[in-house]
Homo-oligomer: A and B are copies of this chain.
Amino acid sequence: MDRDDPLRYPRQRFQIPQGLLYLDGNSLGALPKSTPNDVMQTITKDWGERLIGSWNDAGWVNLPATVAAKLAPLLGVQAGEVVIADSTSVNLFKLLSGVLLADSKRNGTTRRWILSERDNFPTDLYIAEGVLSLFGDRYALKLVAREDIGASIDDSVAVALITHVDYRTGHLHDMRALCQRADVCGVELIWDLSHSAGAVPLDLAGDGANYAVGCGYKYLNGGPGAPGYAYVRQTRQATLPAPLSGWFGHAAPFAFLPAYQPAPDIRRLLCGTPSVLAMIALGSGIDTFDGVSMIELRKKSLALSDLFWQLVDQRCAGMGLRCVSPVDHATRASQLSFAHPAAFAVMQALISRGVIGDFRQPNLMRFGFTPLYTRFTDCWDAIDVLEDVLRSEVWRQPRFSEKKQVP
């Protein structure tokens, strides 16, 4: 399968440690080979030699736009519809507070809810709580089960905050159907694409999405804590309030005018001065997708997870594993999660043997498939170890139960 894989070549773009079976690119993407040079050039040449002049000469001032332009095709949007900035959480705050601020000023609006999924990625719900605290009792959070989110979109909802891919199970929502439903009900919909961009083909424009945020350090390979991004459809940009109104979002950032005037376009989603080193590294990360067909990538992603699942069924039957990810290709993203009563300890034992997945509360082991560098043989080799760990019950050793905090 590896020999015939048309996406075999991008693995050469990464620095993958010898002997490691890395199935956690959904949490932190591997290091692209070009990143060290790109960052070092920025540090030693642009910063070290040309100093302040590099804001113009090296194009630092435009990085939020130029790196976004690399990302745009992966989202299925135009370059001027997305911007790199801050963290996913901060970007979500911007969109959510902006959308609610606009709603609160509409004449006669009675919409009351921020609608979201009960099992959404926690920071999304935390940010929703933070935004709500600034609106007094005007709005409240309504949480429903993931499968009920579509049916819960109605005209009592001001904004729905939906995560495209569930971080626990890898379940993938039908973006187009939910956008249509939101559109019919006049509900604003903000997508969190953290676990989808770079993992599944996206067509935000075609699917009718108006707002989205996402993460740069997972499938986009931007490095630990890479900046996030924010998407706003072109037609919505000029009217979206921007309460996180820092100088980089100003219409004339370096005129030092006393009053805030938001940029007329997507730049109003910028706030403070962006980290140049972080932006450069994210650019290198996104470059690993150069020339890669997302259709091919999707095919390989599903082939990898199909193989892994099939091998678990064949080799680990009766050993306590239960897959909680969707069987159906249409609703499966690029990871598989298995429940196991001792998931934490089993995962620690796997990690100690060089098979890197991760644990998620309460009892899940996650394995991510990153088609740019995961090989089919990696699945075989990982299952060898998994089978052995389960069969030998080595995970019962106390050292594998010591809990650590892991993002």
Q: A-side interface residues toward B, CB under 8 Å? A: 15, 17, 20, 22, 24, 27-28, 30-31, 35-36, 39-40, 43-44, 47-56, 60-61, 86-90, 93, 97, 101, 118-119, 122-123, 125-127, 129-131, 133-135, 143, 215, 217, 223-228, 241-250, 253-260, 271-279, 281, 351, 356, 358, 360-361, 404-407
**Cβ-defined contact, B43 with A272, below 8 A:** no
5 tightest A-B contacts by CB? A87-B272, A89-B246, A89-B272, A130-B245, A123-B247
Chain B residue nearest to A62 in the complex (CB): B405
Chain B residue nearest to A57 in the complex (CB): B404
**Cβ-defined contact, B97 with A134, below 8 A:** yes
**Cβ-defined contact, A272 with B126, below 8 A:** no
Chain B residue nearest to A60 in the complex (CB): B224
Give the distance to chain B from A51, nearest Cβ to Cβ, in Å: 6
Chain B residues within 8 Å of A22, by CB = 51
Which of these, B44, B89, B143, B276, contacts A224 with CB under 8 Å?
Answer: B276
**Cβ-defined contact, A89 with B52, below 8 A:** no
Total copies of the chain = 2
**Cβ-defined contact, A223 with B43, below 8 A:** yes
Please report the C-alpha to C-alpha distance between residue A228 and residue B405 in the assembled complex, in whole angstroms: 25
If A52-B24, A133-B243, A134-B135 touch, whether A275 touches B90 (CB-CB below 8 Å) is: no
If A43-B31, A276-B225 touch, whether A61 touches B271 (CB-CB below 8 Å) is: no
Please report the C-alpha to C-alpha distance between residue A241 and residue B300 in the assembled complex, in whole angstroms: 46
**Cβ-defined contact, B87 with A271, below 8 A:** yes
**Cβ-defined contact, A90 with B244, below 8 A:** yes
Please report the C-alpha to C-alpha distance between residue A226 and residue B133 in the assembled complex, in whole angstroms: 29
Chain B residues within 8 Å of A271, by CB = 87, 89-90, 93
Known pairs A24-B51, A256-B360 / 8 extra A-B pairs, C-beta < 8 Å: A52-B356, A55-B224, A55-B406, A101-B133, A126-B245, A126-B249, A223-B276, A225-B273
Chain B residues within 8 Å of A60, by CB = 224-225
Chain B residues within 8 Å of A248, by CB = 89
Give the distance to chain B from A140, nearest Cβ to Cβ, in Å: 13
**Cβ-defined contact, A260 with B130, below 8 A:** yes
Please report the C-alpha to C-alpha distance between residue A407 and residue B118 in the assembled complex, in whole angstroms: 43
A-B contact pairs, 17 of them (CB 8 A): A28-B51, A39-B277, A55-B406, A60-B224, A61-B407, A87-B273, A88-B272, A89-B247, A89-B272, A93-B271, A127-B244, A131-B243, A134-B134, A215-B273, A223-B276, A253-B405, A277-B281
Give the distance to chain B from A50, nearest Cβ to Cβ, in Å: 8
Which of these, B39, B56, B245, B277, contacts A404 with CB under 8 Å?
Answer: B56
